[in-house]
Structure 1
């Protein structure tokens, strides 16, 4: 058995090495290029052995999904999936099966597109995914099925890969990714001719920040949507990095909790700040009508559910001139909160018939799997006004 002092020396050496590596990593991450690779993780995915131009490999019916590309105003090519609702697909299966498979050169020539464009009752969910991977990553394909297979037969989905992700060109930056999201919505409005009151914007994780940025741009144009759904969101990137753990295991700045000044100094180097709370507040102020749904799971080990509390507070406070002090806000929120058990709850903030904000904190769902849970699909149905009891009953 080694002498006790020798054990202490080895332990101290290990701590010194780990601390040195941690400090060096933080210094390296002040480089914008490397920082963006770490934040967006756009080069890492789990679909290397699959062809995402063949969505049936992920369990979809043949030609139920149409892969296609569209262009952004700054010249990038964005890869997208148009997911048909299964019930609608079933009605037109024989004709759809006769069409060529794979990434189409002109989506407007497809039967699926015509069913989206020509049906006055069609609805569209525009989906903005989180960091890493592609439109076919992880639980994302299951989430499309949850909505397209188990809901109304006229709800279509448009899912995109941001620049630098999957088959899309370019390199991700905050402004660039928001531009991609705006281009996706413009495609829906101008090419597919789906009016904004039949569109729901849904984002998960990083996609919630994209959603906030995109919806703010349209709010400035005076365009509102049927609804906005944010799943596992965060208030801002600098704020998130003080709590975030990569894959739920590798902390970034949380080890420095006892040194808030140092945390603040390091977050000042964040190049893409993604100020979602401020953007959501601006959207609420600018919009004539908004149905905002904020959903988070308590067992999310990557982004703490309290981040969604911050989003809800920012959005709700924006419904009143000057906002509310913390005590009054908490009292008003408590009056409209339903306890769902096991720490789960639903809070509804109804400023008027046209401005309603709903926060749902689930007991379970983790970070990504929650996308496949019923409350997410239910939020879309409520946003479209398809719930039997009316939209967002208190």
Structure 2
């Protein structure tokens, strides 16, 4: 046991420092004044409408509806006349009416929950809203929420509870805002990719297809992530236990929340009639290694073939689809028939959260909505048909 003392000592101090950092982050990020004054983040007056909705288990979820700037410009005088701050009834606002009544409006449901402490106003999230919705002809609205237990929402976060919140956000869009699912993209970053994967699976079971699903800086499962995960890139969680596999396995087995994203995204692909799945990661992500996205891509691609395939065959097929974009980055596009397309892109820079503001994420949303120049995915030089390639390689 004496030999294990340094390992436990490192794990102990990592835990103490991590908890201290976590509490400090929560204190700052949950500041109500910051969240209730979106103009502090550079938005136009009343471009963001804060509001609440209620989940099926009676939690109150705080949300932002972010108007696209081009649309805001066309209706600025009317919007400026409306009260600022939390909307008592969002359905009575001009912004909501423009979302609901425009047959060309589109909605990105932002399921970000970065670093386990996400709020609508955290870090790069506000910058990402602008990059996704700005533009003179844009009609892309954003819905972002504080998950239960964070920011201005009630409750305590659990895996089941966060998924309930994500489903409730989509239900609000479908049932209250009346936005059809084929005009909705659900987007998640970091832990938000786990929520997004679960939400996508939930609606696939109901036969509901979205315009697209975007996963940024995701991971395959919590048990597979934690041995290599470091808080802010510096504070290891379980990596000090790598030298003692039995203890590491014991810790992993005690996880209450599992977040099996790889299996959930595979189920989503398998059950959906139409798939536009984008898996994005930065090579310099110091919190979640980009290789975690390899596992997500493999799970999703494997789900497009009946009975699946072994890993070596999948790697050969992927190699035929991969385009080297320099600096160790690449794009792989996997096509199964006409309706299932999976695109993985690894970019050189963006770290863990800043990548949300990069053109890669905005382009994924535009492609999902069919707003790229070609009007559809994928670019012919990047595509592979999984069925034809599978038959070719096994013969």
TM-score, normalised on structure 2?
A: 0.90
Larger Rg: 1
CA separation of 1:236 and 1:168: change in aligned 2, threshold 3 A: same
d(CA) in 2 for partners of 1:52, 1:254: 35
> Per-residue deviation at 1:21?
3.6
CA separation of 1:20 and 1:338: change in aligned 2, threshold 3 A: closer
Unpaired segments of 5 or more residues in structure 2?
384-395
Q: SS of the residue aligned with 1:242?
A: helix
Pick aligned residue for 2:363 from 364, 368, 378:
378
CA separation of 1:287 and 1:40: change in aligned 2, threshold 3 A: farther
On the 8 A contact 2:31/2:151 being kept in 1, the answer is: no
On the 8 A contact 2:14/2:235 being kept in 1, the answer is: no
Residues 276-305 of structure 1 show CA distances to partners (whole Å, capped at 9, x for unaligned) of 000000001110001000000010000000
Q: In the TM superposition, what are the counterparts of 1:27-106 in structure 2 within 5 Å?
A: 43-46=26-29, 48=31, 50-106=33-89
Pick aligned residue for 1:189 from 168, 174, 183:
174
Pick aligned residue for 2:247 from 262, 283, 296:
262
> Per-residue deviation at 1:266?
0.9
Pick aligned residue for 1:293 from 278, 291, 300:
278
Give the equivalent residue in structure 1 for 2:160.
175
d(CA) in 1 for partners of 2:263, 2:92: 41
Structure 1 segments (4+ residues) deviating >6 Å: 25-28, 37-42
d(CA) in 1 for partners of 2:271, 2:32: 45
Give the equivalent residue in structure 2 for 1:284.
269
Residues 138-185 of structure 1 show CA distances to partners (whole Å, capped at 9, x for unaligned) of 100000000111485210000001000100000000000000000000
Question: Is residue 369 of structure 1 aligned with residue 345 of structure 2?
Answer: no
d(CA) in 2 for partners of 1:41, 1:195: 40
> Per-residue deviation at 1:323?
1.1
On the 8 A contact 1:346/1:361 being kept in 2, the answer is: yes
Unpaired segments of 5 or more residues in structure 1?
1-12, 29-33
TM-score, normalised on structure 1?
A: 0.90
On the 8 A contact 1:45/1:132 being kept in 2, the answer is: no
d(CA) in 2 for partners of 1:39, 1:209: 20
> Per-residue deviation at 1:364?
0.7
On the 8 A contact 1:50/1:57 being kept in 2, the answer is: no
> Per-residue deviation at 1:263?
1.5
Give the equivalent residue in structure 2 for 1:3.
none
d(CA) in 1 for partners of 2:298, 2:214: 16
> Per-residue deviation at 1:51?
2.8
On the 8 A contact 1:45/1:134 being kept in 2, the answer is: no
Question: Is residue 237 of structure 1 aligned with residue 226 of structure 2?
Answer: no
> Per-residue deviation at 1:352?
1.4
Residues 26-62 of structure 1 show CA distances to partners (whole Å, capped at 9, x for unaligned) of 999xxxxx99x99999834446384311110110000
On the 8 A contact 2:334/2:342 being kept in 1, the answer is: yes
